[in-house]
Amino acid sequence: MPDRPIILTGFMGSGKSSVGKVLAEKLSCRFIDLDAEIVAAAGLSINEIFARDGEDAFRGLECAQLERILSSGEECVIATGGGVVIRQQNRELMRKRGVIVNLKVTLEQVLDRLQGCSDRPLLAGEKAPERVRVLMEGREQLYADADIRIDTNGKSVEDVAAVILCRLKGLSA
Ligand code: S3P
């Protein structure tokens, strides 16, 4: 297994947190949820940060927490927020310090999974489906820049974790 953190990237609803927990358990290491670290550090929910200070402020906190976690050198599994790839600084840091595993989802999967969810400020409002499509398209290239990409369509959380483990073995072979 790699001696660097495993960093899960992917759009909202791609299953990063669920898969990350299973993966960390299988690798006997700590699971870290980047959004949860941001919430803990700010003392505010993601919705509150966006509403009070705006997306830029959220991205600043995201960047700071990612840097803090990756500087620790701990071997862990990190589930990032879907927008972590937006900042070049984050992309460079993740590439340098970790193994990037991207979970690919389809637009249909995302819309299905995030239906009725109220804790994603970027998906609030009636135009959400169109916004999801545009956001996904805009980020596709950034997500593609990963060490491993997994197509999650039709796979359970356990399946995805098993495929990642297999691919990680391939990387270190
Ligand atoms: C975001 C994804 C969210 C969270 C924030 C912004 C994004 O995390 O960080 O709402 O820009 O895609 P999840 O991908 O865990 O939902």
The SS3 call for residue 156 is: coil
Query: Is 26's pLDDT higher than 90?
Result: yes
Atom of ligand 1 nearest to the CA of 17: 15
Query: Is 114's pLDDT higher than 90?
Result: no
Strand arrangement of the beta sheet that strand 148-151 belongs to: 30-33, 76-79, 6-9, 99-104, 148-151
Atom of ligand 1 nearest to the CA of 14: 14
Q: Which of 37-46, 117-126, 137-146 has the lowest mean pLDDT?
A: 117-126
- What is the pLDDT at residue 173? 67
Structure tokens at 66: 């990612």
Query: Is 44's pLDDT higher than 90?
Result: yes
CB-based contacts of 82, cutoff 8 Å, min separation 6:
9, 10, 11, 12, 14, 139
Provide DSSP, 44-56: S-HHHHHHHH-HH
- What is the pLDDT at residue 17? 98
Q: In this structure, which residue's CA is closest to atom 3 in ligand 1?
A: 81
Mutate to test the pocket of ligand 1, among 49, 120, 123, 135 (most ligand atoms within 8 A of CB): 120
Q: Is the CB of 122 under 6 A from ligand 1?
A: yes
Instruction: Please report the domains of the chain, with CATH numbers, ordered by start residue.
Output: 6-164 (3.40.50.300)
Q: In this structure, which residue's CA is closest to atom 8 in ligand 1?
A: 81
- What is the pLDDT at residue 124? 82
- What is the pLDDT at residue 126? 76
- What is the pLDDT at residue 33? 98
Q: Is the CB of 15 under 6 A from ligand 1?
A: no
Query: Is 161's pLDDT higher than 70?
Result: yes
Q: Is the CB of 82 under 6 A from ligand 1?
A: yes
Provide DSSP, 56-108: HHHHHHHHHHHHHHHHT---EEEEPPTTGGGSHHHHHHHHHHSEEEEEE--HH
pLDDT band at 125 (very low <50, low <70, confident <90, very high): confident
Q: What is the mean pLDDT of the chain?
A: 95
Query: Is 1's pLDDT higher than 80?
Result: no
Instruction: Give percent of the chain with pLDDT exceeding 70.
Output: 99
